[in-house]
Amino acid sequence: MGCSVTTQAGDSAGAGDAGSGGRVAAIGPVTLGAEQRAELVRRSGAVAGRLGAAGVTMVALCWIDNSGIARVKSIPLGRLERAAGWGVGMSPVFDVFLVNDDITTSKYIGGPDGDLRLVPDLDRIAVLAGQPGWALAPVDRYTQEGRRYAGCQRSFARRMTGEALEHGLTARVSFEIEWALGMEDDGRFVPACAGPAYGMTRVIELSDYGREVVGALERQGIVVEQFHPEYAAGQLEVSVATSDPVGAADESVLVRQTIRAVSARFGFQVSFAPSVVAGSVGNGGHVHLSIWRDGKNVLAGGPGRHGLTSDGEAFAGGILASLPALTAVGAPSVASYLRLVPSHWAGAYQCWGQENREAALRLVTGSSGEHDVRANLEVKCFDLAANPYLVVGSLIAAGLDGLRSGATLPPETSGDPVGIAAGDLADPDARRLPQSLAEAAGHLERSAVLRGAMGEPLFEAFLAVRKAETELFSGVSPDDIVARTRWRW
């Protein structure tokens, strides 16, 4: 079936940016002038040829809104040339859509006026193995004047990738994808399999399905590292290899849409929601992140704890310090706080620890002999209601803030912090992360780091959606929050 036409992200600079080196290659064209448009139109011919040869007739131009929902406009393949240079129209009002499709407003963005252009990233178009005849293209959003739109989350992730490069740093990122497979019956979630957590029984019950999910991902050029049954009823997980930050966010979207499409063919519904059954273990969206300088992983081979270099510790310290505000970005839904509870491997405490699955920041050091390539930071408190572009951009922003301020890490936490009396914790500052979206949004609102990094229009729109969703679910019971959000992502 499908094949990948994904190429190196480094190709994504427009002609007008040529000669500006690696930074521009990573962040893509900042403005679309006549030269850039002409070059993109020219390049779209070869891409359309490859897509056509793979049987594609439709291209889904997909972006993720501030509620973490994948929204789309689709074009017939014959319109790709036009879309590559000029984009496809879309209202900015989608930046203030809520999880239930209600619409709020914000200081700079909202209301019926204006139009934006969705410009497909030609280097990231994937032929969809689970939807024959379709391809999926992530988009950057531009103004009608050809400038990067200030509310564009993918552009924010590109910009932060560029800032890291200015510090001589590159990041490698991957998102773990957990989902619950089943159906809904009379408002209840009915799992697609009955076997135990991590049980081979589940793999046998879902043998054809599991093979097809992994096969479809691989046919799209995704490197699948693992597929396994998770803890909760009907819950499964795939892990994929790392990519550059924007590429990892693109892949997390592609992986989820592929899982959804394959599941539909098997007659199943998919929930990536933070909470699928109130009170049970939910779906995480853990992010793995390693930081590299001059080809070396700064999280290994240094004189610090567990081999951290001073850069590695400062970057991790920056993330740890900003975690309460980052939680609003990575756990952005009211439902997120039904998942983010202690003793559920969700990382509900602002602390770090080597291989500690109850610490929001887990330092993964890997096996001896490969620490240098394997060491990474796992941010566990995030879920898949998050916009992955905001996640990677915000993590880099927080890490770079740590570098600038020379942040250090407090003593590490081992064991489940919930079971340790506050006075006995090695890290006296280890505390519960926000316990509600309202609390997290308060931390975000006060975060100069994230406000400055996102820029006012994006920051205010994202914050307004958090506040409106808090209001939307005010006084609603956990069961009803879950029932109203289970199938939204």
Q: Which does 71 bind (CB under 5 to 8 A by kind): ligand GLU, Mg ion, none?
A: none
Nearer to ligand GLU, 232 or 375 (CB): 232
Nearer to Mg ion, 162 or 284 (CB): 284
Nearer to ligand GLU, 178 or 412 (CB): 178
Name the CA dihedral angle for 399, 19, 455, 256, rounded to a multiple of 10 degrees: -70
Counting residues that bind ligand GLU (by CB under 6 A) gives 11
The verdict on 383 binding Mg ion (CB under 5 A) reads: no
Q: Report how far residue 332's alpha carbon sits from residue 162's, in angstroms, rounded to the nearest whole number.
A: 25
Q: Which does 282 bind (CB under 5 to 8 A by kind): ligand GLU, Mg ion, none?
A: ligand GLU
Among 248, 270, 316, 346, the residue binding ligand GLU under the rule CB under 6 A is: 346
The verdict on 178 binding ligand GLU (CB under 6 A) reads: yes
The verdict on 357 binding ligand GLU (CB under 6 A) reads: yes
Please choose, from the candidates 239, 448, 408, 430, the residue with its C-alpha nearest in 3D space to the C-alpha of residue 317: 408
Question: What is the 3 state secondary structure string of 25-77?
Answer: HHHCCCECCHHHHHHHHHHHHHHHHHHHHCCCCEEEEEEECCCCCEEEEEEEH
Taking CA atoms, 114 is separated from 11, 44, 111, 118, 233, in Å, by 31, 27, 9, 13, 45
Nearer to ligand GLU, 231 or 292 (CB): 231
The verdict on 282 binding ligand GLU (CB under 6 A) reads: yes
Taking CA atoms, 46 is separated from 21, 43, 85, 191, 199, in Å, by 24, 6, 14, 44, 46
Q: Which does 16 bind (CB under 5 to 8 A by kind): Mg ion, ligand GLU, none?
A: none
Per-residue string for binding with ligand GLU, 322-341, x by CB under 6 A? -----------------x--
Nearer to ligand GLU, 227 or 345 (CB): 345
Q: Report how far residue 46's alpha carbon sits from residue 84's, in angstroms, rounded to the nearest whole number.
A: 12
Nearer to Mg ion, 237 or 460 (CB): 237
Per-residue string for binding with ligand GLU, 210-239, x by CB under 6 A? --------------------xx--------
Which range touches ligand GLU (CB under 6 A), out of 11-19, 37-45, 262-270, 344-352?
344-352
Please report how close the Cβ of residue 381 comes to ligand GLU at its closest, in angstroms: 8
Nearer to Mg ion, 206 or 463 (CB): 206
Q: Report how far residue 80's alpha carbon sits from residue 137's, in angstroms, rounded to the nearest whole number.
A: 10
Q: Report how far residue 213's alpha carbon sits from residue 238's, in angstroms, rounded to the nearest whole number.
A: 9
Q: Report how far residue 155's alpha carbon sits from residue 480's, in angstroms, rounded to the nearest whole number.
A: 35
Tell me the pairing of strands 287-293 and 296-297: antiparallel
Tokens of 345: 């491997």
Q: Report how far residue 405's alpha carbon sits from residue 319's, in angstroms, rounded to the nearest whole number.
A: 12
The verdict on 379 binding ligand GLU (CB under 6 A) reads: no
379 within 8 A of 287, measured Cβ to Cβ? yes
Among 224, 345, 364, 410, the residue binding ligand GLU under the rule CB under 6 A is: 345
Among 95, 121, 237, 460, the residue binding Mg ion under the rule CB under 5 A is: 237
C-alpha 174: how far from its chain's center?
Answer: 9
Nearer to ligand GLU, 20 or 343 (CB): 343
Question: Which residues bind to Mg ion, rule: CB under 5 A?
Answer: 237
Interface with ligand GLU by CB under 6 A: which residues?
178, 230-231, 281-282, 284, 339, 344-346, 357
